Every structure is written in structure tokens, then in C-alpha cells.
Amino acid sequence: MRPAPAWPHRTAEGHHLLDLAGHRNNVGATAPDHLGAGAFNIWGNSFPAGELPSGRPVLVDGVPFDLPVCGAAAPDNVRADGQFIEVAPARYDWLYVLAAAERRVEDEIAFHFTDGSVDFEPLRLSDFWAAPAVFGESAAVVTEVMHYPLHVQADVPAMLWCQRVPVTRRAVLRAARLPRNPAVHVFAATLREAGLDMAGVADLESAEG
């Protein structure tokens, strides 16, 4: 397991952690005593909840995320079905996601702006089965086991990726719409405000470490 380091219970300046609670619709991580609840893919595989940094803020690539509690047999991720996710209106540079896919996925996220414009930007995610990243993502978590509906399989890792999607329009963003693609699973998402100095975030991370 390679979890992202813990993040203090506050938000780094310039980052907006999206509230996905009302959009979660899939159980992607399970505890050993609830294996049958897993539904990440059609075969009922799931991440081992004990190897995810669930229920607490985490930092990946200098970006803070708020991960839900996993392993309670309750929805812990958003399986993409066109969900319209409202955000704090502001100008942003990037949408970061902690996500994974059933096989590799290339799709689009729609960004809706306060001036009425809509941009479609590429969302590319690698497979959650252990393999190198196809689209250059960072591995946020590499588990040691894979959960099946009836057993725990050792030495079959699952991958949770950190990917980013550009917000290219210099306008105020008000919402993001996920694609209608059941192979896309988003566990957490964070927007980075335009012009944020990532060196400052690195300094803050070093101070917390």
C-alpha cells in the first residue's frame, strides 16, 4: 500500500474540495466482512477499504482531497452518470480527481460557467487493475490485495489514480458535469484556483511534515 500522506483538517489556500456526498452511488471499497457489497465492476471486485486513506483529508501531488469513509457497505464513490456538481463560483485552472476506471477510459467533463458558456475537456483514466498509468496519472494508492465477492486475493493490486483536467476558459466556473460512463469512478475531487503558486503549497506541506 502507498497511501497519500495525511492532510490537516483544513483546506489549503486556493483549493476547493468538492462535496460529492449527494452524488455517491457506488460501493467501490469493502471490508473483509462485507465483500459481497462491492460493485466497482460487473464482477463485483472492489478496493480493500483498509488500504485506502478513507474518512480523512489526504494530500496527493500537493493537492488536498477529502476522501469518504470506505468499508461500511455504503456508497463511497461517484460512478459517472452525468452528475451535475455545483462548485463555489471562481476562476480555476485545474480539476483534480482521485479516481479509477474499469479498463482505461477516455471521455469528457463539461465545465459550466456563469456567463453561460460550456467547455468540454478530456478526462482520461487508467485501469484500476495493476498496470502502469496509460495517461500519465500519479498512483495515489497501490493496494496489496484485491477484493472479490467471496474472497480476498493477495498479490493482485488495485490502483487509485490522481488525474487532472484543465479548466482552460478564463471565466468564473459554476459547475462540472461528469460524463455518462459507468466505467468512471470518482472518489474525491478538488478544484485549484487560477494563479495558485504551487511552491507555496509545497512549503506548507513541508511545514506540516
- Residue 69 to residue 56: CA distance in whole angstroms: 8
pLDDT value of residue 99: 97
Mean pLDDT: which of 64-68, 129-133, 204-208 is highest?
64-68
Backbone angles phi, psi at 198, to 5 degrees: -70, -20
- Residue 31 to residue 54: CA distance in whole angstroms: 12
The residues spanned by each domain of the chain are 15-208
Least confident of 4-8, 27-31, 205-209: 4-8
For the chain, the straight-line distance linking the first and the last C-alpha, in angstroms and rounded, comes to: 20
- What integer best gives the mean pLDDT of the chain? 88
pLDDT in tens, 128-182: 988 889 999 999 999 999 899 999 989 889 999 999 999 999 999 999 999 999 9
- Residue 119 to residue 18: CA distance in whole angstroms: 19
pLDDT value of residue 89: 95
- Residue 141 to residue 184: CA distance in whole angstroms: 17
Backbone torsion region of residue 47, taken as left when φ is above 0, otherwise alpha when ψ lies between -120 and 50, otherwise beta: beta
pLDDT value of residue 205: 52
